[in-house]
Amino acid sequence: MSSPWTAADIPDLTGRTAVVTGASAGLGLETAKVLAARGASVVLACRNVDKAERAATPIRADVGQADMQIVKLDLASLASVREAAAELRSEHSQLDLLILNAGVMQMPYRRTEDGFELTLATNHLGHFALTGLLLDRLLDVAGSRIVTVSSVAHRRGHIRFDDLQSERSYDASGAYAQSKLANLLFAYELDRRLRAAGAPTTSLAAHPGNARTDLWQTSSSLERAVISPRLRFLNFWLVQGAEAGALPTLRAATDPSARGGEYYGPAGRFQFAGDPVRVESNDRSHDATAQRQLWDMSEQLTGARYELPRDE
């Protein structure tokens, strides 16, 4: 029986550049810490720049000469996405890793300045636009990867193509599940298109299981009590810390044996906690028709266009 995969298995990343969205706390911060410790130059793309700067300070102290950059990115605003992409393009001619980690959960209904439902805008549409704007910076890099962070909640998700912005009805839990299913539809369709183009870039997905992060702040008091560290002796199989929750993302991003189109998550019961392994997503996430339909709608809504070379 092979040993569990850990952060110690990550190869040296010196000379490689990684962009991590939502890296000021939680899973994104843990991901950024490990990548920096392994030698990567890490860009923390975050909505709150001050919070990101405070998060980067101890990493720089722990890692020593850690190369870390802060870029303001509000995924709920296409204008902010374009500005962040322009800044990244001006600073970096090449990118090795793009980790689409940022997200919101259980949010009250709100429309963004672009007219999108907030959860879908933040968790999917903003990342779709950002990836399209940065893709050419990855296409010239052998072994470059795009990792989209989904959730076990995708299993409850349904893409409401006739009411994508939840204008007729809204349920916060359902909106989150829809956005997490959208993450997988996007990741798989992106990898199919990259392979069809013969591109060196691959698209993978990961999920953290049930990880204790600030994302749970909007959940009920009962839910927060159930995952409390004080109940570790009871909930050890149900929930894990952010450090462990980041490992599936890190494995998808760095494991030399990982391949495009794969999905990584915890090995434990219901994929809630445990060692990071390759896992399976539900049948809806592999619906090729839904993948293409969501892609087309995302292009129309965001104006993003993916310029992929033809496979000669």
Active site residue 176: yes
- Catalytic entry in 176, 188, 263, 264: 176
Q: DSSP for 128-191, please give it.
A: HHHHHHHHHHHHTSTT-EEEEE--GGGGG----GGGTT-SS---HHHHHHHHHHHHHHHHHHHH
Active-site positions read: 176
